[in-house]
Each structure stands twice: as C-alpha cells, then as structure tokens.
Amino acid sequence: MGGTPRIKPRHPRKIYLAEWRAHRGLSQDGLGERLNPPVAGMTVSRWETGVSRMSDQVMAAVAEALDAEPQDLYRHPKTESADALMREAPDDLRDAAMRAVAAIIGRRG
C-alpha cells in the first residue's frame, strides 16, 4: 500500500492518579470507597495503569474525592499548577505573562 501515510492515534496525556492518591494517603480501595457509587480497588488500579480509561464524569468525581480539580490530575501533585502560580503572582507579572501567552497563541491585544 502506497500513497497517503496512515495517521496513528495520539497517546493520551499521563494522568497522575496514583501519585494524587498516595499524596492524599489513600489506598486504591480507599479511593474507590469515596466514589458514589463505590468502585473496587481493582478498578482504580486499571485507571492508574491505563488499562481502563475514566469518563469525564468519573474523572470529575475522582478529582473531588482527592480534593483536587480534574485538570490537576494531569500534573504531579507536588508540581504547582499554572493557575495557582498566576493567582499568587503580582499584577505586573501576571499581566506580562498573559501578554506572553497571547503572543504565543497568536492573539494580539
């Protein structure tokens, strides 16, 4: 077969579920019990290893059980989020950062 190259699926972004769970001092069973309806620790294990993927609704519930936001699960718990850094930055640095981001994504303003 020649011609057009085949497009491969994108690799999903890493979800730091195991790290967040450990950061909160929970076992897989403990996290599963916090969900409604509860799930088995084996289900949490499958999410952590990537064998099974969480729906957006499940990810939101898992994040809430971990006292985090869903987007937080895409970063290591010991890494401060960009949102937190921006909230804590002085106004002049925040404005400069926003101008830099706008320039990167091609918005001028």
Q: What is the pLDDT of residues 69-84, one digit of tens each?
A: 999 999 999 988 777 7
Q: What is the pLDDT of residues 83-108, one digit of tens each?
A: 778 888 899 988 898 888 888 888 65
**Which CATH number applies to 11-78?**
1.10.260.40
Q: What is the DSSP string of 63-85?
A: HHHTTS-GGGGGS-TTSPPHHHH
Asked if residue 21 lies in contact with residue 66, where contact means CB atoms within 8 angstroms, the answer is yes
Place of tokens 């059980």: 65
The per-residue pLDDT for 11 is 63
Tokens of 72: 């937080």
| In the chain, domain spans | 11-78, 80-109
- In whole angstroms, give the CA distance from residue 76 to residue 73: 7
- In whole angstroms, give the CA distance from residue 52 to residue 46: 5
Q: Rounded to two decimals, what is the model's pTM?
A: 0.69
